[in-house]
Amino acid sequence: MARENQREDTYSAPLRRLLVAVLVILFLAIFLVWRIDSPRVERFRSAVLDRVIPPMDWVMTPVTGLTRIVSDFQSYQRLVEQNADLRRELQQMKAWREAALQLEQENAKLLDLNNVQLDPQLTYITGIVLADSGSPFRQSVLLNVGARDGITDGWAVMDGIGLVGRISGVGQETARVLLLTDTSSRVPIIIQGSGQRAILMGDNTRNPPIEFLESPDQLRPGDRVVSSGDGGVFPADLLIGQVALGTDNRLRVRLSADYERLEFLRVLRSQPRERIDDPGNLLAPDTVEAVTPEATEAPSDG
Amino acid sequence: MAEVQATRRWAGRALFVGLSFTFLFAQILPLNMVPDRIAAPDILVAFTLAWVIRRPDLTPVALIALVHFSADILLDRPPGLWAALIVISTEILRNRASDLRALAFPFEWLLVTGTLVGLFISYRVILTILVLQQAPLMLTLTQLTITILVYPLVVLLSYLAFGVSRPAMGEVDDLGRRL
């Protein structure tokens, strides 16, 4: 049946096979180069995303918007119930608000009395989420701010409430945020209450587990979890979430950030902390060395 | 006659590339940032395999390479590896396309299942050898299973929407050769 084809393909078939082989080898070479020198290839990747994603935004934004409207519509059906719930919560919140205002005033007074310097350099840039990773195995999003806006790798990213992830990969106009839920995300944390330090390890589930915990018995579900600032990557004291016991009996963190709706994200400008490198010198008055020659000569004369 | 066929062929190729990139961009829409317990099927792979088996002339290897390398870049995967595996497996299927024509669909499905399993296993093995980070096994397995289950649906939709089916006996291409 295919005899006639084969006669005509006598010349083109080997050539074609060669081209396919070259193509495969090229791909594998790219893969190996990536394995050996990943920063270079990752820079190429973010340059490509930089060129591709922002121009596609005019298509992607309406589609995203429409889909969200549909999912919103489902929640409109429960509007009355929600309204009642919200009123009840609002009543409770009013009491809290009063308490918070009083505490704020008190806090300000105490800070003033103690002459505490809050870190004035912690400012932020807000970006809009353009795209997500698209794969069920990677948890990351793409923001519309990049090197142009002074973003650098490693900066912490929050939504209004809690920590969301860190910058990993910066293009000219876009930056990728590695979410806390990604399998390669590791964040040093402190659990308030017991003050224990641990590591939050993303494992591609909604609530990442707490690892390297010294005494799990001291924890209680509901304890607040904040970043510890160990390792100098993240600023300290950023809210991450609350301790919860997972269905698999592991201690996990219920993240405070609203992962259902990541739309606007804050990138915290963190300055590198000052390093103390030298071991410290002996403290002595400067005058000692200048004086000694004369001082030693004088007694010998006398 | 020949020109008409050539235009139709190029239109088919453009359709292939256009649909592939539509799937890609639909995947990266920022709709769901919560990690799922069950992975969505890899529609792009099922789609590519279905078209390679049905119309190898509409899916030249260069286009497949282009689409899947772009997917590697866009979806934050190790660049090149998955694309290389896809090119190899589609070449194997393409060489058998003429034998496949007489095959009933269940056998074709079985063949695609074998190809997909081979793809996923070799991908994981290579990642393991090079000590790279692996996706959770359960997630990979669910994705593989759902992709296999979704394959007949992709085939059916390709046929209903775009008329992509295996060439009939005696159909000829623009040079008058039998397809």
Q: What is the ipTM of this complex?
A: 0.87
The DSSP letter of residue A206 is: S
Angle between helices B105-129 and B43-54 (to 10 degrees): 130
| Interface subset of B 78-97, CB within 8 angstroms of A | 78-81, 83-84, 87-88, 91
Using CB atoms and an 8 Å cut-off, which of residues 4-63 of chain B contact chain A? 24-37, 39-40, 61-62
Does A59 reach chain B within 8 Å, measured CB to CB?
Answer: yes
* Partner residue opposite A30 with nearest CB, options B29, B40, B80: B80
Give per-residue pLDDT as tens, A111-147: 777 776 656 567 889 999 988 888 888 899 999 999 9
Going by pLDDT thresholds of 50, 70 and 90, the confidence category of residue A219 is confident
Q: How confident is the model at residue A71 (pLDDT cuts 50, 70, 90)?
A: confident
> In the numeric block, which tokens belong to residue B177?
């050769």
* Element housing A110 (H / E): helix A79-114
pLDDT (0 to 100) of residue A238: 87
In three-state form (DSSP H/G/I as H, E/B as E, the rest C), the secondary structure along B72-136 is: HHHCCCCCCHHHHHHHHHHHHHHHCHHHHCCCCHHHHHHHHHHHHHHHHHHHHHHHHHCCCCCCC
Instruction: Look at A5 and B37 and tell me if their CB atoms are within 8 Å.
Output: no
pTM for this one? 0.77
Using the Cβ of A43 and the Cβ atoms of chain B, whether some distance falls under 8 Å is answered with no
- What the block records as the tokens of A4 is 């006639």
- The pLDDT of residue A121: 63
Portion of chain A with pLDDT greater than 70, in percent: 87
A92-106: average pLDDT: 89
Confidence (pLDDT) at B1: 53
Question: Cβ B33–A132 below 8 Å, yes or no?
Answer: yes
Instruction: Tell me the average pLDDT of chain A.
Output: 83
Q: Taking residues A249-255, report their average pLDDT.
A: 91
Q: Which of A158-172, A190-204, A211-225, B163-177 has the lowest mean pLDDT?
A: B163-177
Q: How many helices (H) and strands (E) does chain B have?
A: 7, 0
Q: Which residue from A5, A23, A184 is facing B61, i.e. has the nearest CB? A: A23
pLDDT attached to residue B137 = 87
Instruction: Confirm if B116 and B154 have CB atoms less than 8 A apart.
Output: no
Surface of A (252-271) touching B: CB under 8 A: 259-260, 262-263
Nearest CA-CA distance, residue B177 and chain A, Å: 7
Q: Which residues of B touch A53 (CB under 8 A)?
A: 28
Which residues make beta-bridge pairs with A166? A156, A178
Q: In this complex, do B76 and A63 lie within 8 Å of one another by their Cβ atoms?
A: no
Q: Do B136 and A35 touch (CB under 8 A)?
A: no
For residue A199, pLDDT over 70 is answered with yes
pLDDT for res A4: 44
Put simply, the answer to whether A203 touches B132 (Cβ < 8 Å) is no
At A65 the pLDDT is 85
3-state SS, residue A224? strand
Evaluate whether A177 touches A128 at the Cβ level (below 8 Å): no
Residue A302: predicted pLDDT: 41
- Report yes or no: A176 at the B interface, CB cutoff 8 Å: yes
pLDDT by residue, tens only, chain B of 179 residues: 567 778 888 898 999 999 999 999 888 888 777 877 788 889 999 999 999 988 888 889 999 999 999 999 998 889 999 999 999 999 998 888 777 777 788 888 999 999 999 999 999 999 999 988 888 888 899 999 999 999 999 999 999 988 887 766 555 555 555 55
Nearest to A195 by CA among A213, A180, A207, A209: A213
Chain B interface, best mutation among A36, A60, A132, A138, by max B CB count within 10 A: A132
Distance separating alpha carbons of residues A284 and A94, to the nearest angstrom: 60
Instruction: Tell me what pLDDT residue B175 has.
Output: 55
A29 touches chain B (CB under 8 A): yes
CA B50 to chain centre: 6
